[in-house]
Structure 1
Amino acid sequence: MAWFLQNAWLIPLLPLLGFGIITLTPIQRNRNASAWLATLLMVGATVIAIGTAVEVAGRVVVGPDGTVSVAGTEAHGADAEAATEIKAGHGYEWREPNIVRTIRWAPAGGDEPFTMGYIVDPAVAAMLVMVTITATCIHLFSVGYMAHDPRQARFFSFISLFSAAMLAMVMASNLLLFFMAWEVMGLCSYLLIGFWYDKNYADPAQITPRQAAIKAFITTRIGDVLLLVGLAWLWTEAGTLELGAGPGQVFNPALLERLATTATGTGVSAATGIALLIFGGTVGKSAQFPLHVWLPDAMEGPTPVSALIHAATMVSAGVFLTARTFPIFEASEALPVVAAVGAFTALFAALIALGQFDIKRILAYSTLSQLGFMVAALGVGGWVAAMFHLLTHAFFKALLFLGSGSVIHGMEATVGHDSNTSQDIRNMGGLRRFMPVTFVTYMAGFLALAGFPGFAGFWSKDEILADSFRTNTLVWVVLSLASLLTAFYMTRQVMVVFFGTFRGHHPRKQPHTTHGDHHHEAHDPHESPWTMTVPLGILALFAVFAGFVNLPYDGYHHLAEFFAQEAGKFNVLVIWVSSAIAVLGIGLGWLAYRNAFASAEDADPLQRLLPGAFTALNRKFYFDEIYAATFGAAAGVLARASTWLDERVLDRVVLDSGSFTRFLGQVNFIIDDTVLNDGADLLATGAQSAGDGTRRSVTGKIQDYVALVFAGVVVLGVIYLYVVR
């Protein structure tokens, strides 16, 4: 009993093992072997994750001594205050984990050492299932997608490490280990976004994978620094980073009360300051405004990487960070800031998506928008709603990105391997006839993202709208408008890509890349191999049915019960309004784009209607240019100033110091050569001369000695007579 809980540590270890084997052994020379090894190990992690979730759902608890028991049914709603668990706030209650396993790691400077270990509770179990299933599908898809890439083994090595880092972060028993895994993910994102580092474009203004990787790494580091400062502050105040509500843990009620009442020099409480700094990590990792600029450019990496970043790992980690540390946020005054940032990002990104033509960038901005929904949900206290949408979004967003990869793979048969043409939706059209499996599965993801009634995204997004409607009307209005735009721009994408006539035989005139540009006879687009379509089918099932895990029936929320949290009340008005919004957005999109793009050179209907506004949307509200003109220019000035300081000041000091040292050496040489050496030589010569004279005076004749004695007596007598007297 409880085998899966007791061996949950294998979940991150298996993909980590795949990374190690592929990197360090000769198997890397066999691309197929590397791919299937990584995939099978990920399947093993998925099996253990599902078993762990089943045991958690059965309320199995493993004690510190290994004893296994089944917990009773916790109280909810009005009875929650009578439960034995610690109540952390109005929207979230920390529950005792099903299992905690730690080992001593390093001294912490106090009585208690740092520990390293894993923790499994309902939130962790749900995340493990989501991450492993989506990562497994992405691994399998990559077997076909990366089959002809000469660096396939390296690719699977990197995505295995990426998956392992995300799983380790989710299971971390303390925030220090959480942060370490968080940073490994940042490294993996850099390596994978820039995987095609040798790819260049004829247009120097177009960002390359190498530049996109650097941009992502630097931008997310801003949030990481804020998070690190927040954790350091929390450590200073609490003396611990252990997750939990007991003594010596960060969610201890007495500690949270003290943080909430401790004033700082900035006019906010310590809890508020720490929460805002931690939220800075979320803003960077989950690409919330104003650190949103890196995520769309991350599309320069291989499409499976885009799916992994947008669904299973990178951006999900940011939302999970805020959800995991939510008791600190509830003890602070930071939640309105969280809600404002999330709601603004949701609407802001949805607007930009309207003006994009790259199939992956449209999905990238939809990710920004949906992450904004989750962040806004946390800001209004809807913890269950945020986690629900985090889980469902991972499935249908992974489906959409992998579906776009299948589309790109099929388009390359016609337009070549130039991403400017193979990813431009204006070159597509009518693909449902050529790629039926991709079309059907993509439609499932589209309807889920658009919030069409019955699909997964509808139930989770409706939960967020219900919570915001109950607590913050302005946030509800903004999110409702973002929902309308989401349904509209996704309908635009689907209509242009899969309906109408195929326009790819006459691709738009775009500069070709210098990487992978294979010139061959054009063919019609084709369906992808089974290794790519099977994952699409699996994810499509989740896009359709995953929402039913929290289907409210007679006031009973299954997911809320699993999380052992109190869920928001079912609101019939909100569900009808959100349904109408989805249908309206889809209808408007169909009307606008049902006959659009008779040829690839046609203008977008929105471009004809609002040319100035559409240009601003297409240029992403010029934020890249603004950042380049401000922060980029400031960095350039700082770099030039640093160069001047280095060359004109520091180098001069070093050179002058060297010259002065050389002068001192010359002076020392002169003193040594002319004074010390010559003086020593003179003394030696004098001593030798005196010795020679003395030696010559020793003749061995008595008369010579008597003469010397007599001469000495005469000298002494003269001295006595003329000097002494």
Structure 2
Amino acid sequence: MAFFLQYAWLIPLLPLLASALITLTPLRRAALASAWLATGLMMGSTVLALGLLAAVAGGWALHDGQLVQLAGHHGEHGAFTFPEPNVVQRFVWAPTGDTALQMGIYIDGAAAAMLAMVTIASTCIHLFSIGYMASHPRQSRFFSFIALFTAAMLLMSMADNLLLFFMAWEIMGLCSYLLIGFLYERPSAARAAVKAFITTRIGDVLLLLGIVYLYAQAGGIGFGNDEGGIFFPPLLERLASETGALGLSHAAGIALLLFGGTVGKSAQFPLHVWLPDAMEGPTPVSALIHAATMVAAGVFLVARTFPIFTADPTALGVVAFIGAFTALFAATIAIAQFDIKRILAYSTLSQLGFMVAALGVGGWVAAMFHLITHAFFKALLFLGSGSIIHAMEQQPAIRQIHHHDEYAAQQTAQDIRNMGGLRTRLPWTFWTYTAGYLALAGIVPFAGFWSKDEILLDAFKHNLAVYLTLSAAAFLTAVYMTRQWWLVFFGEYRGAQPVVFVNPDAPASASDHDHHHDDHQHAHDHGEHWHEDPRMIAPLVILASFALTAGALNLPFDLPFGHWLADVWGQEAAKLDPLVAGLSLLIAIAGIAAGWLSYRHAFTSADDTDPLAARFPALFAVLHAKYRIDELYAATFGRLTRSLAVAWSLIDRQLIDRLIDGMGRFTFGLGKVNFIIDDTLLNDGPDGLASGTQGSGRQARRLQTGKAQDYLIYVFGGLLALAMFWLYVVGR
């Protein structure tokens, strides 16, 4: 156990090493070698993370390099506290006046569980990507990016202070930009990458302000319950009692700024708009962002700094409201989407809302539990959707579209209206996807039931409005996932005559293929070729097993292994409430029944009208358009930004440019005058005097011949001149 504790720092280092080797060495030219190097080192990190989790769960810790057994810590009623850390390794990084800023790792139960979850999910995504990205010419670059992405998330999970946390946080922002825009030749992907980068930067600025605010008040930003740590009880009491800006306590102000980072990174309303567009990246990227990295980071930020939030409950009310609203808001949008990945994206928004709301009502264990279970079944669903899309793109009608417009072909392949009957064509994908679907819907005994039930239980106990909102979101989750599952896997295959995606960025020559009346629509079933890549099946099976069993990590029963995660985290365990659990299960079953009844006879052909659209056309149009939030932002912030840009451009051209040009002309004129003065008086004058002196010298040298007869002639001439002057001038 001492090995895993002592060398925990290797967990983020191995994927970082993979990224560096692929990027900086000739290995980048060997696509398959790059893929397996990144995957192999990721597997190594997984082994280390699992060993570390086992050591932490066993109560082992390193103190001054010695392996010791910690006394058990279980949360008590009252103020939230973290247990004593298992590993703290720091080094002096930079001087700060009389003290020095330290960097290092801080590992407790929360960090250990996050490291295990991230490494397992990321390893499965790496394995899946070997098959999914096999034919892509930039495969090596892809694996370099996802390895760096994972390394940043791992470093963030074990950071010992908020500055190192923020550094890793920003590296993830860079990686998300690079991976969302990985297919940068597509204008839509480039726009989505920029949108994600700019939107999340808004939250990042708030987070950075919160870190600065905390440092100004606490004199440090290191994690820990002891003096000098930001969880030190007397410090938290002071922050909660002293008032800052807007009448808020320092604790509330700091917490709200930190939560701003979560709103951006975890795509909570109103900064949610970037996450659905992030689907422009390859499907493994979507799985990585939605399950193992990026969006999980925002929830973990609140969980990691939770004592600050509990010091003054004011901030928790805002957290609960934003989370609950986002959960229901995103669920209503998901029910009206047709892109298989976008449905899952809005599902992620909704589930993140569940986690944030749980933190807002004080359900720290429930939020972290759902964060971990959700990572497994959401990675499974995204990778399963990748397997479906990969198979759909091989069908005759889609291949025909691919000849004219690759992007339109991909988007057409992602439309659930063009699917149907895939359970017999893709059996491995069907069964594993079904496990993810049931986990997300909240059916017992799948993992999602246990973690979501715990969230609903905490909401039921502490905030009835949040409970009712989350219950409505849970019902809609079961509805839209049943809709998706049924339309994809049941009924007749509709892809022979698909609804073709109209690419707004396509050249004019491709516009003739916008509709499904083209020649390629006459492809028949005998041309179909369905194939599940064996390299993609293994990760799906692994993740499906976690979707089924991960709930056992924190069962609400007094069993030998019951409450295991709560015990690892050193927090109070939840007890089973039969009423809330029964209602949760009934809500999920009711949602599944409503989805099945609504869609069991829907879409006999791809261009049929959605039943919801047929009954409520105006409502469906609003939901399908995502409440037109993007258009609202474009009409307000976008227009304001463009107006400011135009105004600044005018100021730049008409004022600043003219001022600078005028100063340039004035300076140029002064330069000319100075040149004339310098050239005429200072250069030509002294130069002429010097030339005259030199000429006089040369003439004088000619008189000095050194011959006596010449000098006698000069004397005779001089006397003759004087005599003539005397006789003719003076004498007269």
Residue in 1 aligned with 2:242? 262
Aligned position for 1:505: 496
SS at match of 1:19: helix
Cα deviation, residue 433, structure 1: 0.9
CA contact (8 A) 2:75 2:81 kept: no
Check 1:307–1:681 CA distance in 2 against 1; reply closer, same or farther (3 A cut). closer
Does structure 1 residue 148 correspond to structure 2 residue 135?
yes
State the 1:484 CA deviation: 0.4
User: Which shows bigger deviation, 244-253 or 50-59?
Assistant: 244-253
Do structure 1's residue 427 and structure 2's residue 414 form an aligned pair? Answer: no
Q: Which runs of 5+ in 2 are unaligned?
A: 403-408, 514-519, 705-709, 723-732
Number of aligned residue pairs: give it: 691
Distance 1:664 1:373, change over 3 A: same
Distance 1:95 1:551 in 2: 21
Q: Which residue of structure 2 lines up, in the alignment, with residue 165 of structure 1?
A: 152
Alignment of 1:474-553 (within 5 A): 474-511=465-502, 523-524=527-528, 526-553=530-557
Q: Is the 8 A contact 2:557 2:575 kept in 1?
A: no
- In structure 2, relative to structure 1, the CA distance for the partners of 1:76 and 1:278 (3 Å cut) is closer
| CA displacement, residues 275-328 of structure 1 (integer Å, 9 cap, x when unaligned) | 111000000000000000000000010000000000000000000001001111
What is the deviation of 1:704? Answer: 6.5
Counterparts of 1:120 and 1:688, CA distance in 2: 88
Match of 2:653 in 1: 647
- Residue pair 1:213, 1:298 contacting (<8 A) in 2 also: yes
Measure the CA separation in 1 of the matches of 2:648 and 2:420: 52
Instruction: Please report the TM-score for the alignment, with normalisation by the length of structure 2.
Output: 0.90
| Length-normalised TM-score, structure 1 | 0.91
CA contact under 8 A between 1:19 and 1:160: conserved in structure 2? Answer: yes
Paired position in structure 2 for 1:81: none
Query: Is contact 2:22-2:28 (8 Å) kept?
Result: yes
State the one-letter code of the partner of 1:586: I
Corresponding residue number in structure 1 for 2:346: 365
Aligned partners of 1:370, 1:337: CA distance in 2, in Å? Answer: 17
Counterpart secondary structure, 2:270: coil
- % identical equivalent positions: 60
CA contact under 8 A between 1:411 and 1:525: conserved in structure 2? no
CA contact (8 A) 1:438 1:527 kept: no
Q: What do the CA deviations read for 1:380-420 (whole angstroms, capped 9, x no partner)?
A: 01000000000000000000000100110111111235122
Residue in 1 aligned with 2:336?
355
Letter in 1 for 2:141: R
Match for residue 428 of structure 2 among 426, 430, 437: 437
- Distance in 1 of aligned mates of 2:494 and 2:69: 61
Q: Contact 1:431–1:525 (CA<8 Å) still a contact in 2?
A: no
The match for 1:84 is none
| Aligned equivalents of 1:296, 1:41: Cα separation in 2 | 30
1:472 aligns with 463
Equivalent runs, 1:624-639 vs 2, <5 Å? 624-639=630-645
1:361 is displaced (CA, Å) by: 0.2
Aligned to 2:105: 118
Residue 722 of structure 1 aligns with which residue?
Answer: none
Structure 2 CA distance for aligned equivalents of residues 113 and 359 of structure 1: 51
1:377 aligns with 2:354: no
What is the correspondence of 1:213-252 to structure 2 with a 5 Å cutoff?
Answer: 213-252=193-232
Whether the aligned pair in 1 keeps the contact of 2:73 and 2:83 (CA below 8 Å) is no
Q: Distance in 2 between matches of 1:46 and 1:330?
A: 33
Q: Distance in 1 between matches of 2:419 and 2:670?
A: 77
Structure 1 CA distance for aligned equivalents of residues 699 and 283 of structure 2: 100
In structure 2, C-alpha distance between the alignment counterparts of 1:503 and 1:702, rounded to whole Å: 129
**How far apart, CA to CA, are the structure 2 residues paired with 1:665 and 1:265?**
54
Question: Contact (CA 8 Å) 1:34, 1:153: kept in 2 or not?
Answer: yes
Partner deviation per Cα, 1:644-666 (whole Å, 9 max, x = no partner): 12222222222112111111111
Measured in 2, the distance between the counterparts of 1:685 and 1:30 equals: 75
**CA distances 1:54-96 after superposition (whole Å, capped 9, x unpaired):** 0001000110x21111122234446xxxxxxxxxx63x31211
Which whole-Å deviations, capped at 9, do the CAs of 1:98-154 have from their partners, x for residues lacking one? 0111111111x2333122211211001100110000000000000111111111111
Distance 1:395 1:667 in 2: 77
CA contact (8 A) 2:557 2:576 kept: no
Kindly provide the amino acid, as one letter, of the partner of residue 171 in structure 1: M
Q: 1:671 Cα shift?
A: 1.0
Q: Which residue does 1:273 correspond to in 2?
A: 253
CA contact (8 A) 1:437 1:527 kept: no
**Quick check: 605-614 or 634-643, which moved more?**
634-643
1:300 maps to which of 274, 280, 289 = 280
Quote the offset at 1:263 in angstroms.
Answer: 1.5
Assess if the C-alpha contact under 8 Å between 1:377 and 1:467 holds in 2: yes
Q: What is aligned with 1:406?
A: 387
- 1:311 to 1:703, Cα distance in 2 relative to 1, 3 A: closer
Matched-pair contact (CA < 8 Å) for 2:72–2:570: no
1:608 to 614, 624, 644: 614
Shift of 1:692: 8.9
CA distance 1:676–1:445, shift in 2 (3 Å): same
Secondary structure in 1 matching 2:105 = strand
Given candidates 331, 341, 359, the residue that maps to 2:322 is: 341
- One-letter amino acid matched to 2:262: T
Give the residue type in structure 1 aligned to 2:311: A
Equivalent residues of 2:18, 2:38 under 8 A apart: yes
Pairing 1:591–2:579 present:
no
Give CA deviations for 1:8-59 in whole Å, capped at 9, x if unaligned.
1111111111101111122221211111111111111101100100000100
Sort the Cα spacing of 1:684 and 1:558 in 2 relative to 1 into closer, same or farther, 3 A.
closer
- The residue number in structure 2 matching 1:70 is 69
User: How far has the Cα of 1:700 moved from its partner?
Assistant: 6.1
Seen in structure 2, the aligned counterparts of structure 1 residues 38 and 691 have a Cα distance that, compared at 3 Å, is closer
Q: Secondary structure at the match of 2:134?
A: coil
The residue identity in structure 2 corresponding to 1:299 is M
Alpha-carbon distance change, 461 to 270 in structure 1, aligned in 2, over 3 angstroms: same
User: Given the superposition, is the C-alpha separation of residues 137 and 694 from structure 1 closer, same or farther in structure 2, using an over 3 Å criterion?
Assistant: closer
Aligned residue for 1:113, secondary structure, equals strand
Q: Which stretches in structure 1 are left out of the alignment for 5+ residues?
A: 79-88, 201-207, 712-725
C-alpha distance in structure 1 between counterparts of 2:97 and 2:416, whole Å: 60
Match of 1:580 among 583, 586, 599: 586
1:95 maps to: 83
Residue aligned with 1:93, SS = coil
Cα shift at 1:703: 11
Aligned residue for 1:94, secondary structure, equals coil
Give the whole-Å Cα distance in 2 for the aligned partners of 1:491 and 1:217.
33
Q: Using a 3 Å threshold, how does the CA distance of structure 1 residues 685 and 360 change in structure 2: closer, same or farther?
A: closer
| 2:48 corresponding residue in structure 1 | 48
> Is the 1:435–1:525 Cα contact (8 Å) retained in structure 2?
no
The aligned counterpart of 2:726 is: none
Maintained 8 Å contact 1:436/1:527: no
What is the Cα deviation at residue 245 of structure 1? 1.3
CA contact (8 A) 1:434 1:525 kept: no
1:643-722 map, 5 Å? 643-681=649-687, 683-684=689-690
2:179 maps to what in 1? 192
- Aligned-residue Cα RMSD (Å) equals 2.5
Q: Cα distance 1:611–1:683, how it changes in 2: closer, same or farther (>3 A)?
A: same
Q: Which amino acid is the alignment partner of residue 127 of structure 1?
A: M
How far 1:557 moved relative to its partner? Answer: 2.2
Residue-by-residue CA offset, 1:161-220 (whole Å, 9 max, x unaligned): 0011100110111111110000000000001001111125xxxxxxx1111000000000
